[in-house]
Structure 1
Amino acid sequence: MELFATTAWYIWCRRNKMRVSEPVVPMSSVAGEAYQYLATYQSGQPRPVRLAKRKNIKWKPPSTGMYKTNFDNAVFEESGEAGIGVIIRNSRGKVMASLAEKILKPSSVETVELLAARRAVILVQELGFKNSIFEGDSETVINSLRNGDRLKSFIGHLVQDTLSDVNSLRSWSFFHIGRQDNAVAHVLAKRARLSFILIFG
């Protein structure tokens, strides 16, 4: 799972370098480079505590003609930054696009999650997809987007902006899922720590 997310992130970074005419490694070398990058990163990390294996944890593809867009965030308290991770897959489970962006840490985790949701919607728009199911693991944020509530709260403008953006799609919906089912998007969000910072609002 981590190797897949690292490879997706590496391809995304390679594409961005090409856009500004920076030198890039050949596409045939990406898999090896991503593996080496992940191995170097993991060598400096503490070994995770092994937990009992959970059952019935499986990402489910959308129906034919639809896309499923998962989004998540990670907060880097020590640097005052946050990461956004997004992955879009089709009805066969094929990855259509992925994204890892680093931003300045907002005032609350809720705000970061809403920024991740909005970035997911914008990415779908940028790629020209018209039908998408959006999945995130913050029940509060998903409920706000599904019901259009909290518009008068401190995050109301983000709820409104996200709903305004998503209304340009032909078909869309927001669903809450468990953290374990949103693992790839979360790994991408954590990988954003290694990216250049972007100011996103």
Structure 2
Amino acid sequence: MDAMIFSLLSQLNPSQSSLFATILWSIWKRMNLKLWQQKTETNSQVVARATTLLDEWKAAQCIRREGGAPRAVNQPEPIRQETIRWQKPARGRYKCNIDASFSSSLNRVGLGMCIRDDAGEYVLARIDWFYPLCDVVIGEAVGLHTALQ
């Protein structure tokens, strides 16, 4: 399944792949809401959450790069926006991207890891979580430790 998702992502343009990945995350979020809080969401709510999250992330990236004040989500992005792209590791090496998410309501930390080779091809991915909630620096360090294992 992972290989199929990464194969599809490699065929999409950056905008499409960002939306696709964010929708996958939103589907995962919907499953957790159903499992842990017995909340049911429609497909349109899942897509709306994904697009809102992606729009907010893009706005935050503009602010970070430009050092400017926050903009409204529906305000057009500046023309000077640069695209930040994932870069392949050096020949013969692997690259592991790690991220942690923090849920105060569930008192836990979620981890996501993805390893790619020097051609940028998917090698391995893993998700994990642990209790209790911790500091961001600790969560990221645990993510690195988990990836190394």
Provide the TM-score with structure 2 as the length reference: 0.51
CA distance, structure 1, for counterparts of residue 44 and residue 126 of structure 2:
21
CA distance, structure 1, for counterparts of residue 44 and residue 97 of structure 2:
25
CA distance, structure 1, for counterparts of residue 98 and residue 49 of structure 2:
26
> What residue is the counterpart of 2:103 in the other structure?
76
Structure 2: which amino acid aligns with 1:100?
Answer: I
Structure 1 residues 77, 92: CA separation in 2 closer, same or farther (over 3 Å shift)?
A: same
CA distance, structure 2, for counterparts of residue 46 and residue 57 of structure 1:
19
Out of 38, 41, 47, the position equivalent to 2:46 is 41
**Any idea what SS the aligned residue of 2:102 has?**
strand
Pairing of 1:36-115 with structure 2 (within 5 A): 41-43=46-48, 47=52, 48-49=55-56, 51=59, 52=77, 54-115=81-142
Please give the per-residue CA displacement for 1:14-34, whole angstroms capped at 9, x wherever unaligned: xxxxxxxxxxxxxxxxxxxxx
Structure 2: which amino acid aligns with 1:84?
Answer: L
What is the CA-CA distance between 1:105 and the residue it aligns to? 3.1
Structure 1 residues 80, 2: CA separation in 2 closer, same or farther (over 3 Å shift)?
A: farther
Structure 1: which amino acid aligns with 2:47?
Answer: Q
> What residue is the counterpart of 1:185 in the other structure?
none
Say which structure, 1 or 2, has more relative contact order (CA 8 Å, 6+ apart): 1
CA distance, structure 2, for counterparts of residue 3 and residue 71 of structure 1:
19
Pairing of 1:153-192 with structure 2 (within 5 A): none
Q: Check the 8 A contact 1:105/1:112 in 2, yes or no.
A: no
1:3 correspondence with 2:20 = yes
How many residues were matched structurally?
95
**Which consecutive residues of structure 2, in runs of 5 or more, have no partner in the other structure?**
1-17, 29-42, 60-76
CA distance, structure 1, for counterparts of residue 47 and residue 87 of structure 2:
28
Structure 1 residues 106, 81: CA separation in 2 closer, same or farther (over 3 Å shift)?
A: closer
**Any idea what SS the aligned residue of 1:58 has?**
coil
CA distance, structure 2, for counterparts of residue 99 and residue 2 of structure 1:
21
What is the CA-CA distance between 1:88 and the residue it aligns to? 0.3
Provide the TM-score with structure 1 as the length reference: 0.39
